[in-house]
Structure 1
Amino acid sequence: MQKEVLALLSSFLEAIPAQVKIWDKKVIDYLSGNTRALQEFKAGSNSTKWDIYSETRYQHLH
Protein backbone atom coordinates (compact mmCIF):
# COMPACT_ATOMS: atom_id res chain seq x y z
CA MET A 1 0.00 0.00 0.00
CA GLN A 2 2.91 2.37 0.61
CA LYS A 3 3.76 2.38 -3.10
CA GLU A 4 0.23 3.45 -3.93
CA VAL A 5 0.33 6.20 -1.30
CA LEU A 6 3.75 7.34 -2.51
CA ALA A 7 2.43 7.59 -6.07
CA LEU A 8 -0.67 9.52 -4.97
CA LEU A 9 1.34 11.98 -2.88
CA SER A 10 3.98 12.46 -5.57
CA SER A 11 1.31 13.29 -8.10
CA PHE A 12 -0.52 15.63 -5.74
CA LEU A 13 2.65 17.44 -4.66
CA GLU A 14 4.14 17.39 -8.16
CA ALA A 15 7.37 16.03 -6.71
CA ILE A 16 9.53 13.05 -7.52
CA PRO A 17 8.80 9.97 -5.42
CA ALA A 18 12.28 9.87 -3.89
CA GLN A 19 11.76 13.33 -2.42
CA VAL A 20 8.31 12.52 -1.11
CA LYS A 21 9.58 9.27 0.42
CA ILE A 22 12.20 11.17 2.42
CA TRP A 23 10.30 14.35 3.30
CA ASP A 24 6.84 12.94 3.89
CA LYS A 25 7.41 9.58 5.58
CA LYS A 26 5.00 10.57 8.34
CA VAL A 27 2.22 11.21 5.81
CA ILE A 28 2.97 8.01 3.88
CA ASP A 29 2.84 5.95 7.08
CA TYR A 30 -0.39 7.64 8.19
CA LEU A 31 -2.24 7.14 4.91
CA SER A 32 -0.93 3.58 4.54
CA GLY A 33 -2.30 2.68 7.95
CA ASN A 34 -5.57 4.59 7.77
CA THR A 35 -7.90 3.26 5.09
CA ARG A 36 -10.56 5.90 5.69
CA ALA A 37 -8.13 8.80 5.36
CA LEU A 38 -6.63 7.22 2.24
CA GLN A 39 -10.05 6.89 0.62
CA GLU A 40 -10.87 10.51 1.51
CA PHE A 41 -7.54 11.60 0.02
CA LYS A 42 -8.13 9.63 -3.19
CA ALA A 43 -11.67 10.93 -3.67
CA GLY A 44 -11.10 14.45 -2.43
CA SER A 45 -10.59 17.74 -4.18
CA ASN A 46 -7.19 19.40 -4.08
CA SER A 47 -8.41 21.36 -1.07
CA THR A 48 -9.40 18.18 0.76
CA LYS A 49 -6.10 16.54 -0.15
CA TRP A 50 -4.21 19.56 1.15
CA ASP A 51 -6.18 19.48 4.42
CA ILE A 52 -5.36 15.80 4.98
CA TYR A 53 -1.74 16.25 3.95
CA SER A 54 -1.05 19.39 5.96
CA GLU A 55 -2.86 18.19 9.09
CA THR A 56 -0.69 15.09 9.09
CA ARG A 57 2.56 16.68 7.93
CA TYR A 58 2.49 19.69 10.22
CA GLN A 59 0.68 18.12 13.17
CA HIS A 60 3.63 18.64 15.53
CA LEU A 61 3.48 22.41 14.99
CA HIS A 62 0.01 22.81 16.52
Structure 2
Amino acid sequence: MRENDGLTLKEFEAITGICYSLTSRYENGKKKVSPKHREIIISFIVGEYMEAVNLLKQEKKGGIIDD
Protein backbone atom coordinates (compact mmCIF):
# COMPACT_ATOMS: atom_id res chain seq x y z
CA MET A 1 0.00 0.00 0.00
CA ARG A 2 2.81 2.41 0.88
CA GLU A 3 4.47 1.90 -2.48
CA ASN A 4 1.14 2.22 -4.33
CA ASP A 5 0.90 5.73 -2.88
CA GLY A 6 4.46 6.49 -4.01
CA LEU A 7 5.78 6.84 -0.47
CA THR A 8 9.30 6.07 0.62
CA LEU A 9 9.87 4.30 3.92
CA LYS A 10 10.87 7.61 5.53
CA GLU A 11 7.76 9.37 4.19
CA PHE A 12 5.58 6.56 5.52
CA GLU A 13 7.32 6.99 8.89
CA ALA A 14 6.66 10.74 8.85
CA ILE A 15 2.95 10.14 8.21
CA THR A 16 2.29 7.14 10.47
CA GLY A 17 5.00 7.34 13.11
CA ILE A 18 6.10 3.76 12.38
CA CYS A 19 9.90 3.63 12.17
CA TYR A 20 11.10 3.08 8.60
CA SER A 21 13.30 0.15 9.60
CA LEU A 22 10.34 -1.63 11.22
CA THR A 23 8.19 -0.99 8.15
CA SER A 24 10.89 -2.57 6.01
CA ARG A 25 11.03 -5.62 8.27
CA TYR A 26 7.24 -5.92 8.23
CA GLU A 27 7.10 -5.65 4.43
CA ASN A 28 9.81 -8.26 4.00
CA GLY A 29 8.23 -10.70 6.46
CA LYS A 30 11.18 -10.51 8.84
CA LYS A 31 9.13 -9.28 11.79
CA LYS A 32 5.56 -9.79 12.91
CA VAL A 33 3.51 -6.59 12.97
CA SER A 34 2.74 -5.43 16.50
CA PRO A 35 -0.91 -4.94 17.47
CA LYS A 36 -0.38 -1.17 17.82
CA HIS A 37 1.22 -0.89 14.38
CA ARG A 38 -1.42 -3.18 12.87
CA GLU A 39 -4.09 -0.66 13.88
CA ILE A 40 -2.10 2.21 12.36
CA ILE A 41 -1.53 0.28 9.13
CA ILE A 42 -5.23 -0.60 8.89
CA SER A 43 -6.09 3.08 9.38
CA PHE A 44 -3.66 3.93 6.57
CA ILE A 45 -5.19 1.31 4.26
CA VAL A 46 -8.75 2.51 4.81
CA GLY A 47 -7.76 6.07 3.98
CA GLU A 48 -7.51 7.82 7.33
CA TYR A 49 -4.12 9.24 6.33
CA MET A 50 -5.07 10.35 2.81
CA GLU A 51 -4.97 14.04 3.65
CA ALA A 52 -1.38 13.71 4.84
CA VAL A 53 -0.46 11.57 1.81
CA ASN A 54 -1.97 14.08 -0.60
CA LEU A 55 -0.23 16.98 1.12
CA LEU A 56 3.09 15.18 0.88
CA LYS A 57 2.51 14.48 -2.82
CA GLN A 58 1.80 18.17 -3.44
CA GLU A 59 5.00 19.12 -1.61
CA LYS A 60 6.98 16.64 -3.70
CA LYS A 61 5.57 18.22 -6.87
CA GLY A 62 6.87 21.56 -5.70
CA GLY A 63 3.82 23.42 -4.58
CA ILE A 64 1.08 23.47 -2.03
CA ILE A 65 -2.41 24.48 -3.04
CA ASP A 66 -4.29 26.51 -0.44
CA ASP A 67 -8.06 26.11 -0.36
Relative to the length of structure 1, the TM-score reads 0.36
Structure of greater relative contact order (alpha carbons < 8 Å, 6+ residues apart): 1
- Structure 2 length as normaliser, TM-score? 0.34
Q: Which protein has the larger Cα radius of gyration, Structure 1 or Structure 2?
A: 2
